[in-house]
Chains A and B, each alone.
Chain A
Amino acid sequence: MKRRKLDMASVPGKAAVGVDERFQVSTPLRKLLNKVFPDHWSFLLGEIALFSFVVLLLTGVFLTFFYEPAMTEVVYNGSYAPLRGTPMSAAYASSLDISFDVRGGLIMRQMHHWSALLFMAAIVVHMLRVFFTGAFRKPRETNWIIGSLLFWVGFLAGFTGYSLPDDGLSGTGLRIASAIMLSIPVIGSWVTSSVFGGEFPGEIIISRFFIAHVLLVPGLLVALISAHLGLVFKQKHTQWPGPGRTNDNVVGERMFPRYALKQGGFFMVVFGVIALMGGLFQINPIWYFGPYEAWVVSAASQPDWYVMFLDGSTRLMPAWEINIPIGDGYVIPPLFWPTVVLPGILVGLSTLYPFVEARRLKDTRSHNLLQRPRDVPERTAIGAMAVSFYLVLTLSGANDVIADKFQISLNAMTWAGRIGLLLVPPIAYYLTYRICLGLQQHDREVLAHGVETGIIRRLPDGRFEEIHQPLTAVGEDGHGELGYVGWVVPKKMNRLGALGPAIRGFFYPIEKPAEAPVSPGHPPVEPRQEREEIGSGEPRR
């Protein structure tokens, strides 16, 4: 018994030795286990996208078991009474069956759609983080490009998926997509005809979109995501400046166990939020939209949010048609500019931005430390300009809903969008720039004069003055010598440890606190008159 027990305990060790003798993995494995990741909440935003992609794959596989990518006409005879007996495409009928005749199918469909929206939203939020902190700078330009490609490929995945149910709303979207292809000069009609296999809608587009949506585009996404993560791993994560942090090191936690455990937990949280949304919030109720019929449309026809900016740009575009009087005459329709040219420019601008900035600043060094947005007012202002541009377009994409629900004239909304698109970005640029400068100045002020204590004292001549807590020993002129290191400057007294340690416990303290907390508002009264300013005089970094 005893001997056997001993054997059992040594089995894993022996097996490990055996494996290493054959594959020599112990050193690379240790290097993998021993990898340091910096910890900051904003570094987790990209993970939301990654995890929602995993949920997309899981729920998507479920959906493929029941979805039928065909446009053959069938007569619906499922559970949903208000559509029974209606002729429709097999694709729409099977989507209805997923919603009503597959046990738990509706929550899967809704989770799939919500995670698609979350995937795109998280990509955008993550991109904003990367942009505003300067994480795209050398050596990470490639990963920035891959990231922006991921947005557009995700866009494609979303649009192809949105079209698959072949309901009234998605069919309208498909119709607009065909018109967009048609608007391309010279080759437009050939492109449309080739994609749709003839005149719109044809009979093949759903099966083509299906294979694109379940194989080609996800394949591309998986490849790009792998490259994206691989590069993060290879180049190591950026970090905020701070104590002990330099451009040549990473300060944080080793990947295992704590970091990995947190990631696992976060995946579950993302999954859980998607499940809650999938269950509690209805999304894309295709049974109200009916089958796609070329003559049926609804008020407030909108695409999903990440396409809405294109819909907005299309709505705002004035009716400028370019006629070319050669032969029978040729046309460049107004639809071409906001839907083909604009996205083209956006792709170009976003991918090239790291190089443009590096060239402008003549900056060839590698940067592993992030910048606070306020410290780079120009970039932050450009970012704010881009965000406001995008926002005006997105809001214009929903301008009929806004007009209806807030009782504004639809035509006024369109004009507001047209003017806003030109006016708001420059205003956003100017305001952001000034705000950044103001924040910078305040940081410098605190470093020089100290933190506001909230204690007001009256001077002998009757003036009132607030006492400042210097962050370091002050010189003759009452100014500190502390330099700015690109990290948060403490601006509240409790940041300096003036507040006692927090008491642990939710309802009652579980441990006796070491000493009674001292409130900074009521410093211990001491009788000595010649008391100096409160302050430790210790440099804090």
Chain B
Amino acid sequence: MSTKTEHQAQPGPEPLDVHDPRLSRFDIVREGARRDDIEIVHYEEQVAPGSKAERRLTRTVALFFLLTGLAATAFLVIYIWWPWKYDAGSGGDNLYTPLLGVTLGVALLAVGFGILTWGKKLLPKEVSIQDRHENDPTSAESRKITGETMLFLADEMGVKRRPLLGISLLAGLAPVGAVAAAPLVGGLISDPHKNNQMFTTGFAPAEGGQKIRLVREDGRPIRPADISVGGQLTVFPGIEHGVSNKHADSPTLLIHLRESDAVTSREANQRVGHANYMWGNYVAFSKICTHAGCPASLYEQQTNRLLCPCHQSQFLITDNAKPIFGPASRRLPQLPIEVDAEGFFVASSDYTETVGPDFWERP
């Protein structure tokens, strides 16, 4: 083992003449480092050149690299020839991605471990010490000079003596900054109260007072007989694009309560002045949670609780969908419903409370 150890004992060694032909390459490297304030204090081969250990490590590294080649080739072969089109997993297509992952991963890991073994085990170990130069006295001096230069700069500009220049420059530049921001902000800004959009839903009666039908997700209108006792159905306004994200605040949950629950529910309705909101034993509440807008739709038909899966707010359907647990603070708005002459559910009017998550100016 060749070990080159030298301690920092000699203070300030004389600079070497790097053109001296007697110097080895390492001597020059060390001299270069020294000129950058780095002292290589310990430099040691980890394995003796030509030793059994070196040969063995070389073989290991080579093996890693060959494994990389092998895995990368396997990756390419699989990439090209493995059946990859979705076939419900029956043609081995569900193995395509895992096989690619394994071959790619092995290829990358092998090259990584090859390089690491090379660097860690075969390269000489060293300990170098570099100075930080933070408390260098020259830097304090330099700081002083730079500071004075800047102050002098200010003197030369004379802003202090001629304040009008500074003030007028500021006054002139401020609007320019606003000009840069204006198109961006102005282009993005959009009035949330346009068409009263925050307070109306798709159930708002059409022009001429035509009441809006409740429809299913496939657009069919709903008869009372379509929902069994203890059943629930997601309903939408029967208008154009009613069943789409264009009316993201309109989805409503239509529930057929059991007789006894309906009685409780009707009494609760009367308490808050919603006397005619139910039709028979049917109630309709907004599906959009008043907390963060998720569809609150985990209806428990025996406890009559409605759970929102996003933040676990729980609403009691038979008590005007009052929040009874979790972070929601406002009850779900109720849609007044009735049945039209053809026997289909319609909304008597739009929601009378604001649908969806709360906001500042919600009355």
In-complex A–B contact (CB below 8 Å): yes
Residues of chain A touching chain B, judged by Cβ–Cβ distance below 8 Å, are 30-31, 34-36, 73, 79-81, 100-101, 103-104, 106-107, 110-111, 139, 172, 175-176, 178-180, 182-190, 192-195, 197-201, 236, 244, 247-254, 257-258, 261-262, 264-269, 271-273, 275-280, 292-301, 311, 314-321, 328-335, 338, 366, 368, 399-400, 410-411, 414, 504-505, 510-511
Partner of B101 from A188, A195, A279, A328 at Cβ < 8 Å: A279
State the CA gap A304–B194 with chains docked (Å): 34
**Contact between B119 and A261, CB atoms less than 8 A apart:** yes
CB distance from A509 to the nearest CB of B (A): 10
B36: A residues at CB distance < 8 A = 30-31, 34
Once A257-B119, A280-B102 are accepted as A-B contacts, the answer to whether A299 and B309 lie under 8 Å apart by CB is yes
CB distance from B127 to the nearest CB of A (A): 6
CB distance from B23 to the nearest CB of A (A): 16
Can you list 23 residue pairs at the A/B interface with Cβ under 8 Å? A30-B32, A103-B79, A103-B84, A175-B293, A179-B291, A189-B193, A200-B248, A200-B249, A248-B135, A250-B129, A254-B33, A261-B116, A262-B119, A265-B112, A268-B111, A268-B112, A269-B108, A276-B106, A279-B101, A294-B247, A295-B295, A297-B297, A510-B52
Nearest B-chain residue to A31, judged by Cβ: B36
Q: Is B220 an interface residue (CB 8 A)?
A: no
**Contact between A189 and B359, CB atoms less than 8 A apart:** yes
Once A298-B309, A319-B326 are accepted as A-B contacts, the answer to whether A265 and B115 lie under 8 Å apart by CB is yes
- The 6 residue pairs across chains A and B that have the minimum distance between CB atoms: A279-B101, A268-B112, A272-B108, A276-B105, A261-B119, A333-B358
State the CA gap A176–B294 with chains docked (Å): 7
Besides A248-B132, A269-B116, A295-B287, 7 more A-B contacts (Cβ < 8 Å) are: A182-B358, A248-B135, A254-B40, A280-B101, A294-B245, A331-B361, A333-B357
B156: A residues at CB distance < 8 A = none
**Contact between A236 and B130, CB atoms less than 8 A apart:** yes
**Contact between A301 and B294, CB atoms less than 8 A apart:** yes
Nearest A-chain residue to B362, judged by Cβ: A331
Contact with A along B330-363 (1 / 0, CB 8 A): 1000000000000000000000000011111111
A185: B residues at CB distance < 8 A = 360
Partner of A176 from B245, B310, B363 at Cβ < 8 Å: B310
Contact with A along B73-96 (1 / 0, CB 8 A): 000000100001110100000001
State the CA gap A251–B291 with chains docked (Å): 56
CB distance from A413 to the nearest CB of B (A): 8
Contact with A along B97-126 (1 / 0, CB 8 A): 111111011111111111110111001101
Residues of chain B touching chain A, judged by Cβ–Cβ distance below 8 Å, are 32-33, 36, 38, 40-41, 51-53, 56, 79, 84-86, 88, 96-102, 104-116, 118-120, 123-124, 126-132, 134-135, 188-194, 197-198, 217, 234, 236, 244-245, 247-249, 251, 287-288, 291-295, 297-298, 307, 309-314, 323, 325-330, 356-363
**Contact between B327 and A194, CB atoms less than 8 A apart:** no
**Contact between B197 and A198, CB atoms less than 8 A apart:** yes
CB distance from B324 to the nearest CB of A (A): 10
State the CA gap A190–B102 with chains docked (Å): 49
State the CA gap A253–B101 with chains docked (Å): 35
**Contact between B292 and A335, CB atoms less than 8 A apart:** yes
State the CA gap A103–B330 with chains docked (Å): 49
Partner of A319 from B100, B323, B357 at Cβ < 8 Å: B323
B360: A residues at CB distance < 8 A = 184-189, 330-332
**Contact between B101 and A277, CB atoms less than 8 A apart:** yes
**Contact between B132 and A315, CB atoms less than 8 A apart:** no
**Contact between A334 and B33, CB atoms less than 8 A apart:** no
A328: B residues at CB distance < 8 A = 361, 363
**Contact between A36 and B198, CB atoms less than 8 A apart:** no
State the CA gap A301–B308 with chains docked (Å): 10
CB distance from A219 to the nearest CB of B (A): 16
A411: B residues at CB distance < 8 A = 312, 314, 325
A81: B residues at CB distance < 8 A = 86, 88
State the CA gap A1–B87 with chains docked (Å): 64
Nearest A-chain residue to B79, judged by Cβ: A104
Nearest B-chain residue to A111, judged by Cβ: B101
A184: B residues at CB distance < 8 A = 360
CB distance from B18 to the nearest CB of A (A): 12
CB distance from A320 to the nearest CB of B (A): 7
**Contact between A366 and B134, CB atoms less than 8 A apart:** yes
State the CA gap A261–B360 with chains docked (Å): 57
CB distance from B148 to the nearest CB of A (A): 24
**Contact between A183 and B327, CB atoms less than 8 A apart:** no
B313: A residues at CB distance < 8 A = 319
A195: B residues at CB distance < 8 A = 188
**Contact between A257 and B32, CB atoms less than 8 A apart:** no
**Contact between B118 and A107, CB atoms less than 8 A apart:** no
B130: A residues at CB distance < 8 A = 35-36, 236, 249-250
**Contact between B295 and A36, CB atoms less than 8 A apart:** no
A172: B residues at CB distance < 8 A = 294, 310
**Contact between B102 and A267, CB atoms less than 8 A apart:** no
**Contact between A80 and B86, CB atoms less than 8 A apart:** yes
State the CA gap A34–B32 with chains docked (Å): 8
State the CA gap A338–B193 with chains docked (Å): 26
State the CA gap A184–B358 with chains docked (Å): 10
B189: A residues at CB distance < 8 A = 190, 194
B102: A residues at CB distance < 8 A = 276, 279-280
Nearest A-chain residue to B313, judged by Cβ: A319
CB distance from A78 to the nearest CB of B (A): 8
Partner of A272 from B56, B112, B129, B287 at Cβ < 8 Å: B112
State the CA gap A185–B361 with chains docked (Å): 8
Partner of B309 from A269, A319, A400, A511 at Cβ < 8 Å: A400
Partner of B292 from A179, A236, A319, A331 at Cβ < 8 Å: A179
CB distance from B185 to the nearest CB of A (A): 8
**Contact between B192 and A192, CB atoms less than 8 A apart:** yes
Once A279-B100, A314-B292 are accepted as A-B contacts, the answer to whether A194 and B312 lie under 8 Å apart by CB is no
**Contact between B131 and A278, CB atoms less than 8 A apart:** no
Once A176-B294, A252-B128, A311-B311 are accepted as A-B contacts, the answer to whether A272 and B109 lie under 8 Å apart by CB is yes
CB distance from B289 to the nearest CB of A (A): 9
State the CA gap A265–B114 with chains docked (Å): 7
**Contact between A189 and B112, CB atoms less than 8 A apart:** no
B119: A residues at CB distance < 8 A = 257-258, 261-262, 265
State the CA gap A101–B118 with chains docked (Å): 41
**Contact between B134 and A248, CB atoms less than 8 A apart:** yes
